């Protein structure tokens, strides 16, 4: 068994590993590598080691698992089961902020019962990326006393598993969702009211993502508002929220000091930087080729952009 000290920064992330078929005004792609846990890990790996918990079918191309491994992601908790991989089909019109889901095929995820291998049960940080809240509960309950837990979701689960999702809010430190989901879950149109509702259900921090309009981060004592990084060409927004979460949680997990307001604000900007790279191409094409220096370069450019 791995030494507990070595698990200090390691993130255990559950979520979808998927084959995505997507159309945007600028192009289309069929059965490309996607999924909430895939994008999350591709962002978080710059700051902290990540192990992904997921299931794929026997049709899942081996080259996708090889890519995740090449990026340094621990894939030992991804099981391969008889059947088809989770598939998501979506499209965007010129308002790239909201995806239209055309089809969600859960396939092998429909009956997935995650079993975390013994050494990963000691991970100190747990990220429950967008997936069935019952799977999120099952993973969280197997981890021994995490020091930080966070959770994301999407309208599909708000509509189909709301009770289970609200139950999860009690158990996590940070909750992330986009503005439409915050409104739908809370029943409040105003985002301050929606955040207040979310915080009243348990988490210490609620992060509301607003696509090209940036992000709001609420705690009981403070609010931080950050714009998105200004880009000349946005190609495909799929996975922006997940790579944002990767940069945000990855930075928090590996933060040199205790988590305080200043560390949280830096983490929000690293998340913003990761998301901005992700939307420049389909699938993982852009972020898979990045190095830590690219991240720092854009982080500095963001500081220049927002200084006054």
Residues in contact with ligand AMP by CB under 6 A are 16, 18, 20, 34-36, 88, 104, 130-131, 154, 156, 238-242
CB of 107 to ligand AMP, least distance (A): 12
Phi first, then psi: give them for residue 217, nearest 5 degrees. Answer: -125, 115
Sequence-distant (≥ 6) Cβ neighbours of residue 47 within 8 angstroms: 247, 250, 251, 253, 254, 270
Q: What is the DSSP letter of 247?
A: H
Task: Supply 187's token pair.
Answer: 């029943």
> Of 116 and 129, which CB lies nearer to ligand AMP in the complex structure?
129
d(CA 154, CA 17): 15
> Of 124 and 179, which CB lies nearer to ligand AMP in the complex structure?
179
> Of 122 and 248, which CB lies nearer to ligand AMP in the complex structure?
248
3-state secondary structure of 243: helix
CB of 86 to ligand AMP, least distance (A): 7
Q: How many other CB atoms are found less than 10 A from the CB of residue 58?
A: 11
> Of 12 and 17, which CB lies nearer to ligand AMP in the complex structure?
17
Select from 89, 84, 114 the least CA-distant residue to 13. Answer: 114
CB of 147 to ligand AMP, least distance (A): 25
CB of 219 to ligand AMP, least distance (A): 23
**Edge-to-edge strands, sheet with 100-105:** 27-34, 18-24, 87-91, 100-105
Phi first, then psi: give them for residue 200, nearest 5 degrees. Answer: -70, -15
> Of 55 and 295, which CB lies nearer to ligand AMP in the complex structure?
55
CB of 295 to ligand AMP, least distance (A): 18
CB-based closest residue to ligand AMP: 34
CB of 2 to ligand AMP, least distance (A): 29
d(CA 256, CA 260): 11
Helices (runs of H) and strands (runs of E) counted in the chain: 11, 13
Select from 9, 298, 273, 33 the least CA-distant residue to 127. Answer: 9
β-partners of residue 126 are 12, 149
> Of 20 and 74, which CB lies nearer to ligand AMP in the complex structure?
20
> Of 7 and 208, which CB lies nearer to ligand AMP in the complex structure?
208
Q: What is the DSSP letter of 115?
A: -
CB of 33 to ligand AMP, least distance (A): 8
> Of 4 and 160, which CB lies nearer to ligand AMP in the complex structure?
160
CB of 89 to ligand AMP, least distance (A): 9
């Amino acid at each position: 068994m791995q030494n507990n000290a070595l698990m200090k920064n390691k993130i255990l992330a559950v979520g979808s590993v998927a084959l995505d078929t997507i159309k945007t005004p600028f192009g289309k792609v069929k059965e490309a590598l996607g999924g909430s846990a895939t994008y999350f890990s591709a962002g978080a790996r710059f700051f902290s080691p990540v192990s992904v918990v997921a299931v794929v079918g026997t049709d899942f191309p081996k080259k996708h698992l090889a890519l995740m491994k090449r990026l340094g992601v621990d894939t030992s908790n991804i099981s391969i089961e008889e059947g088809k991989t989770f598939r998501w089909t979506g499209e965007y019109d010129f308002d790239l902020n909201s995806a239209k889901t055309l089809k969600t095929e859960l396939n092998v995820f429909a009956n997935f019962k995650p079993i975390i291998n013994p050494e990963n049960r000691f991970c100190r940080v747990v990220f429950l990326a967008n997936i069935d809240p019952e799977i999120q509960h099952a993973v969280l309950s197997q981890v021994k006393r995490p020091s930080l837990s966070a959770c994301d979701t999407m309208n599909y689960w708000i509509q189909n598993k709301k009770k289970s999702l609200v139950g999860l809010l009690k158990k996590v430190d940070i909750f992330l969702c986009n503005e439409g989901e915050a409104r739908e879950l809370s029943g409040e149109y105003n985002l301050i009211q929606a955040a207040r509702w979310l915080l009243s259900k348990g988490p210490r921090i609620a992060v509301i993502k607003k696509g090209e309009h940036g992000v709001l981060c609420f705690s009981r004592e403070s609010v931080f508002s950050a714009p998105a990084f200004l880009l000349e060409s946005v190609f495909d927004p799929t996975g922006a929220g997940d790579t944002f979460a990767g940069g945000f949680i990855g930075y928090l997990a590996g933060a040199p000091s205790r988590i305080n307001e200043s560390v949280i604000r830096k983490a929000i900007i690293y998340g913003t930087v990761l998301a901005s790279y992700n939307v420049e191409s389909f699938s993982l094409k852009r972020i898979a080729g990045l190095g830590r220096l690219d991240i720092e370069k854009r982080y500095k450019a963001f500081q220049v952009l927002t200084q006054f």
